[in-house]
A and B are shown apart, each in its own frame.
Chain A
Amino acid sequence: MDRTDTDRRAPAGDPPLTYLDHAASTPVRDEVVEAMAPFAAQVFGHPSGHHRQARAARQAVEDARDQVAGLLGAVPGEVVFTSGGTEADNLAVLGVLGAAARRRSGGETVVVSSAIEHAAVLEACRAAAARLPGVEHARVGVDTRGVLDLERLGEALDARVSLVTVMLANNEVGTVQPLSDVVTLTRRLAPGAVVHTDAVQGAAWLDVALAARGVDLVSVSAHKLGGPKGAGALVVREGTELEPLVLGGGQERERRAGTHDVAGAVGLATAMAAVAKERDAEAVRVGALRDRLADGLLDAVPSVTEAADRKSVLPGLCHLCFEGVDREELVVLLDEAGVCVSAGAACASGALEPSHVLAAMGVPARIARGSIRFSLGHTTSPADVERALAVVPEAVARLRG
């Protein structure tokens, strides 16, 4: 891949593009585009059919499944292809709780989540509590650095708990969560519960097979790691009871109906394989770029705070709060200069919402107002970082007046 040619990502006529929003989405890797291409018009059959076109498509899906399973430390039958991370999270939460509620036939049960989960998990937990009789949702807080409070988790765990869901790494501040401790505590204090992790952000940087060892359900998404949008997977460990959300033709062993997105499955597998191949080198390379960016900004701009401890943060993430600046304004100025960053999650209208992650970390609203997420990835070059270092201090100074 050509890492120096940042301009090729900019539409004609626009300033050179400095894309620092990989945690939102990534450009599709060249090898992924290539791997997906045959499944548009060449191998187009319905994978559940009974002729050569169908068999070819089916083989592609199953090859992809083998690959994804291998990379996630699962066996192929445990991999359920979904339309992305959100569907995987929804299926994990509502699928497990739906099965649990039925099994307990209205008796009380609890889903325990961290307070900093992605909306795909939190909203699913909220919906489960609202729709399923006897289901309660308990949230466990984090410390001021954005890491799960294990003591509080321990207090929340008991025999009533059916599901514990804690993300591998947070999407806003990038903190890696103590998943192995979550698994150990759950096995000890809530032996009947299953553990889910949303590894959508973490999978771009960490060896999920290792980091999520012992976890029962794992969500991943293709477009966060150089794959296409609209493709993801949920690992469902053998023996985990799960009610499907999408009903129909019985695909994915009746856990997710609907004709397979063959190209999407191939794209997910190819992107994950590419990540696995370059993981260690990229963590070092991008981590160094991130440090250069973070240290450079902390140095050049007064009154900036780093939300999380860098040693517990993914290599590509740099979350900073610029005091006295409104993030909505900083994003606009940076966009005008061709620097793409994120200021947080948006609501249905596209407006930024106050961050529940920063609130859970106890960051005062006054500071959170100026929060910006820079996220680096496989396309990030030293030139991108230098450009951000040139543009951001000036923009902040201008907004501070």
Chain B
Amino acid sequence: MRVLVAMSGGVDSSVAAARLVAEGHDVAGATLKLWGGPQSSGCCSVADVDDARRVAQQLGVPHHVFNYASEFERDVVEPYVAAHAEGRTPNPCIECNRHIKFDRLLERARRLGFDRLATGHHARVCEQGGKLSLRRGADPLKDQSYVLSMLGQSQLGAIALPVGDMTKSEVRAEAARLGLRTAAKPDSQDVCFIHGPEGREGFLASRLELHAGDVVDAETGLALGAVGAVELVTVGQRRGMPAAGAPRYAVAVDVATRRVTVADSVHAAVHEVSLAPGSVTWVDRPLADGEEAVAQMSAHGRPARCTVHAGAPEAGLRCRFPVAQRPVAPGQTLALYDVADPDAVLGAGIVAGSGGRT
């Protein structure tokens, strides 16, 4: 098989490439330049590209650098900034997977005659009865099925995830055994285009006008304090929220009125999460109204049982939780897993809102 491996310069994609080469495939590596100049850290720094190139050289496979900086800006960074301006908190890694890696790069791999696009994600693609399933990676601590949960059959049929059946320590051991320079490289952290001491706040402040706002208690309607920038508050956040007696969680962010609404843990908890119409994707078939599933609402969030309620298509999807959940920020992705087979992803959608408070 001809396989194009997306090589970030990290250990997972290095070992993914090495495994494919060892299996006898015709492999080429590609590193994406998504962001930044020579000084930038994150997933597309020059040092990371150098690592990817050196690993490819060691494996004896061609290596290409593809510049997707303008597409990344348009499809990932600008929507990220725009969402924050509206008080939503998107997951840019998921949007990058959706728009760049498993769309543009996958299409490019097809045009270039590759049979598969491989990545170093910790997740598995399995076939059962002619259907492909996306399953959690073998290492529960490193599972990345959540950030791939938007993939459908056609994409799953065109990708390979060679390290999905390995634990992280097995990946590192394999890299060390092969003498790959990335064997001991630390895992990447956070969002690739946000780094340095200024972090998210500094990045957004450079792109947006941030507004101070009031913090208001959901129960009493009383002002409890203030925040420096409502755009930086994420629904569900506790840090920085005034604690009047008990800790308070942000339950709503209204940028227009510059108001953050908070509640204590009991009143913040939600029983229902709605997914934005048009955002819902299925690995195979849609869940029927009233079917049960297990929902995960962040990369390493705790899975929770829910029932799916599908109204009219334009109404999106609602997930009802018998056990109350911490509020989830609009813009986040909710991934659905199979109740009977909890490693299997069923689908995903983007959170529009949460409610049904007790």
Contacts and interface: CB of A to CB of B under 8 A. Distances in A.
Given A326-B108, A348-B38, A350-B49, A332 B33 contact: no
A326 B64 CA distance: 14
A140 B138 CA distance: 60
A210 interface: no
Interface centre among B38, B67, B113, by most chain A C-beta atoms within 10 angstroms, is: B67
Contacts, number: 46
A351 B65 contact: yes
Contact of A349 (B44, B70, B111): B44
A127 to B, nearest CB: 15
Nearest to A326: B108
A401 interface: yes
B112 interface: yes
A399 B45 CA distance: 29
A364 to B, nearest CB: 14
A119 to B, nearest CB: 13
B203 interface: no
Tier of interface size on chain A: 10 to 19
A326 B46 CA distance: 23
Contacts of A350: 49, 53, 65
Contacts of B38: 347-349
Contact of B66 (A351, A353, A398): A351
A123 B31 CA distance: 26
A351 B30 CA distance: 11
> B53, B62, B64: which has the most chain A beta carbons within 10 Å?
B64
Interface string A280-300: 000000000000000000000
B65 A349 contact: yes
A329 B111 contact: yes
Nearest to A400: B111
B62 A349 contact: no
Nearest to A335: B62
A347 B33 contact: yes
A328 interface: yes
Interface string B43-81: 011100100010000000010111101100000000000
A328 B64 contact: yes
A333 interface: yes
B186 interface: no
Contacts of A328: 64, 66-67, 108
Contact of A351 (B33, B62, B108): B33
Given A335-B62, A347-B33, A352 B111 contact: no
Interface in A303-355: 326, 328-329, 332-333, 335, 346-354
Interface of B: 31, 33, 37-38, 44-46, 49, 53, 62, 64-67, 69-70, 108, 111-113
10 closest A-B pairs (Cβ-Cβ)?
Answer: A351-B33, A351-B67, A350-B65, A348-B38, A349-B49, A351-B65, A348-B46, A349-B46, A349-B33, A352-B67
21 contacts: A328-B64, A328-B66, A329-B111, A329-B112, A332-B112, A333-B113, A347-B33, A347-B37, A347-B38, A348-B38, A348-B46, A349-B31, A349-B44, A349-B65, A350-B49, A351-B33, A351-B66, A351-B67, A353-B67, A354-B70, A401-B111
